[in-house]
Structure 1
Amino acid sequence: MRYSEMEFPLAKFDIMLSSLHDIWEKGWLDEYSEDHFLIRAIRRELHDIKAERQLKNNRMFYYPGQFNINSEDFSVNFCINFSFALGSLIECFGETSIKNFVVNQLSAGKSHYNEDTFYEALSEVSILRFFIGRAEWNQYLYEPALHQSSNRKNPEASFILDYKDNRKIRFNIEVKSPKFLYVPDDIDKPTLIPAILLSREGRQKFKEFCDENSIRYVNPRVMKLKDFINSAADKFTEPKEDEYNLLYINWSYSEFPSDGFLEAWGLLMNPINGLMTHEYFAQEIGISEDAFKKISAIIVYTEALDGLMFSDFKDVWIRHGGSTCFRMIINPNEKDIFTDDIYKRRLEILGQVTAMYPSIDPMKYVLFSYHTRENIDKSNTLIDDIYKLIERYSLREDS
């Protein structure tokens, strides 16, 4: 029996779930797997959430061992907030576009359900919902065709605003979310990820160092960044004076629950061989020259459980410890593409709309977890040794 032929399981919450109830009855969810996150949430059966431990670590008031999920409450809260988000998307982009998204993308493989694909689609919902509320936009375009060729793929959405002096401000948005291998049960084992490009010998030396010190070594996922950047560049065109091409990357569900985004941040912006600070290395690994002409800014972030439950991107501004869990990287070539006055104005508008500003250069080139309370001297010695390896084996333009 199709879901649309069944009674909506959350009918008693119908006042707050009108959009979700509506797509249930219209059959948008009929091809969804019974294992799908949304179907389990509607049935209040979210007894386990993939990457739950990682997502909980990024909550504002989370302390290990002091927070447990009530599956029924979480299910209802998720559905209520997702329904509101869905209603906003339908109102702005139209029912036809959002039906296609729900049926073919959010379904995450339909009968061949893949939860990573669902999280990727949910990231898109979160970002687009956030942008809807950032201005009184005059036009919303879902998957706009920026190229004349019908063979080219399109970005997620465009937001257009009639601005002063008869100017039109346009933001084109692309959203990506990596499919990481999930963290093993021994998540507390010391782990190391160099957020920097290493020579082949350097990668081997790091593995040997980690083996000797019982540390889990993870190669930096630089090729994921390359693929995301190239994909976005292929969808965008070179921005005009009042046009912004933004690439959002949800670097979540990785080995460092709260700080996973720092891996991508370091790879993009470290001063030794960052991909956005050293175009030479970007091209060496296969990033297209178009990326430096087309992408205005890249935002890398790590989502919390709160963000998942509320379908709300704003949670990346708040986490336990008081710091944000995102970084914005401005394309350094924008200074050469535009005049000083235009570049300054672009930064101001970008900050006003995104509520973000370019982040300072990262001071750390490695993500390293070690229980310092148990042996702070050992930890400090290991960190010193790690940075010596980085100094010796980092790729450099003159090497």
Structure 2
Amino acid sequence: MTSIFKRLVKNLPTFLTALLLAITIWIMAVNSNDPGDKRTFPQGIPVEVIGQNEDLVITNEMPSQVTVSLSSPVSMWETLTDSPELIRAYIDLGGLQEGSHELKVQVEVDARPVKVETIAPSEIQVTLEPLYSKYFEIQLIQPSQPAVGYELGNPEMNQTHATVSGPASRMADVVEVRAILDVSQANQDIDRDITLAAYDTNGVVVEGVTIEPAQVHVSMPITQRGGYRTVIVKAVLTGQVASGYRLTNYSVSPLTVTVYSADQQIVNDLPGYVETQPLNITGADKDITESLPLNLPAGVSVVGESTIKIALTVSAIQGSITINNSTIELVGLNPEYMVTISPETVDVILSGPLPTLDDLNVGDVRVILDLSELAPGTYQLNPRVELDIPDLLVESILPETVEVVISIPPTATPGN
């Protein structure tokens, strides 16, 4: 037994040398097949904050991401880029008190073998301040007025107080929490959520604090005063547009008006609308825009602007026409050739406004067949229509294709 032990001790240096040589050869073989590669990771790594005292708050701006360079076998880079969550960057605020601190960014990679080469920025400055909270009554501010003839009821809020939290330097400026309720031109009950904001003594919003709850729900009735009523505006048109035209649309602005009378019964007896003075559209063949007064009962007046703007859209009625047996004009034929076409005429179908179609002359439409650069032979060609009237559209040509035979004229025989 002793001799075996002595033999092992004697051969131990040789064994260790052989093992080290084997490991070296293995590493060299691995590196030759999958060499290491140093790269900058293509994405920024989000910086986590850990260990922060819940009674302290960060008050300075700090980078949200860092850029890292890594060394890793080529085969590992695909895994890293496909799974960036394997790389974690953080700063540890554990044990820190209020004040400014310069902290090193720590980067961990949940993959092997990967080495972190560089981190940029490698350090982040953090300023900590005590976190304070204060309880405020919510002030409901109404900087505007409802529509004329309407009055506001008593508002109700689902919360009357809010807690404001933030760093000491910001909280020292907060004197009030406001909910701004805009009721401008309102004529219906209000039922909405309003975001709260903290204000200083100058009425300026204090940033960098949180408010709980962040919103308050406000309900407020809005009623119409006696003698006032909101009614629809109805345009009165007389006459007919020109023959071949039609009235396609009209708009009235404003759509409703508020009227008032000292005698509330007169207002209550209105049918729900008031009419404009008549607008005569006889013979109209284009759009019309007019401003007209309202035709109001005696004792009734309009609150605000009493002139109504009316916009009418007058469009030509669309139709179609067929021009039969239009002769095909040939252009571009080599003068040394002769040509025959079949058929020699086509029918052209046009569409457009009826008044334009009624004024159309046959000479306004030309059917052209371009034979430029064509050699002798037989062709199937599509003629085109030339029309200098922009409102008209060529719907089709019948037939769409004609046969064209181009040939060389026979040489004249002497004596014939």
Same fold (TM over 0.5): no
> More helix by proportion, 1 or 2?
1
Q: TM-score, normalised by structure 2?
A: 0.13
> More strand by proportion, 1 or 2?
2
Larger RCO of the pair (alpha carbons < 8 Å, separation 6+): 1
